[in-house]
Chain A
């Protein structure tokens, strides 16, 4: 159960923790940096300064209370729907892969993919917003085509680890996936 520090694609420090629960079960979690006090106070000051400017122009004090409400509700919405604290990947050899994202407000959202649907876990490169990034993704079998891929599930979308962290996660996943019996897709009817 070791924790190693890496950098995300934007330069923020992220922590990767590997836990081996058994011979064919591994959990890899990436912890994103917490909400910084300086960015929170910067945004709050900007909103309140803008509201004060509007108040000075319009002499309407409702603008100030509206700004306070907006700041509070905006912060709650951000923490509950946007800010991801930790993303984890649980690979169970014979069962499947579970992807969990925990938000800063405590909400957790989980997706489970059966092992019979999983073709491979690979590191793919793609263009994303004027950059080429490496990202880990799960390839799913295509029911109509033994060699084809029907769907690509990208992982670690908000922490965006760099290649060194992805290689560690990739090696851990491959050690488990190699133990599978080499079978074709689930409904092997052709």
Chain B
């Protein structure tokens, strides 16, 4: 209950079995709705079920949504990428507000965001 491990627990086994039974029940119900003729359902008293058109339309809608979802996710990713001329490629709000700690001898230097000019000088200019 307290730990967050993915180990099997009795409660999880019960949830799993309930989901298993529920999904089988839903599937059998869907098959009944799709295949049994309307007149038989009316004679049983079930007159207000949705049209059988939806038994075919909803799966098709779902599959098309999944296909479009791939393309949409790809497009959203590309749109969210910062353009080359934006300052977000260089810095962000956290780096602008960071505090500069004093350098102490024989201590590990504090973690900070190094400005890009300094990084460039270190990488690309020859050692003096």
Partner of A148, one of B84, B89, B96: B96
Residues in A lying within 8 Å of B, measured CB to CB = 119-120, 122-129, 135, 137, 139, 145, 147-154, 157, 167, 170-171, 174
Is B82 interfacial (CB 8 A cutoff)?
yes
Judge whether B117 and A126 touch: CB under 8 Å.
no
- Min distance, Cβ B123 to any Cβ of chain A, angstroms: 8
Main secondary structure of the interface of A (DSSP, over half): strand
Inter-chain CB contacts under 8 Å: number: 55
A157: nearest chain-B partner, CB-CB: B84
Q: How far is the CA of A48 from the CA of B84 in the complex (A)?
A: 37
17 interchain pairs, CB-CB under 8 A: A120-B117, A124-B89, A124-B90, A126-B84, A126-B89, A128-B81, A139-B90, A148-B91, A149-B87, A149-B90, A151-B85, A153-B85, A154-B85, A170-B120, A171-B124, A171-B125, A174-B125
Q: How far is the CA of A32 from the CA of B86 in the complex (A)?
A: 25
- Min distance, Cβ B118 to any Cβ of chain A, angstroms: 10
Q: How far is the CA of A40 from the CA of B78 in the complex (A)?
A: 30
- Beyond A145-B96, A148-B96, is A123–B87 a contact (Cβ under 8 Å)? no
- Min distance, Cβ A159 to any Cβ of chain B, angstroms: 14
Q: A154 — which chain B residues lie within 8 A by C-beta? A: 84-85
Q: A129 — which chain B residues lie within 8 A by C-beta? A: 78
Is B26 interfacial (CB 8 A cutoff)?
no
Q: B116 — which chain A residues lie within 8 A by C-beta? A: 120, 122, 124, 139
Judge whether B87 and A151 touch: CB under 8 Å.
yes
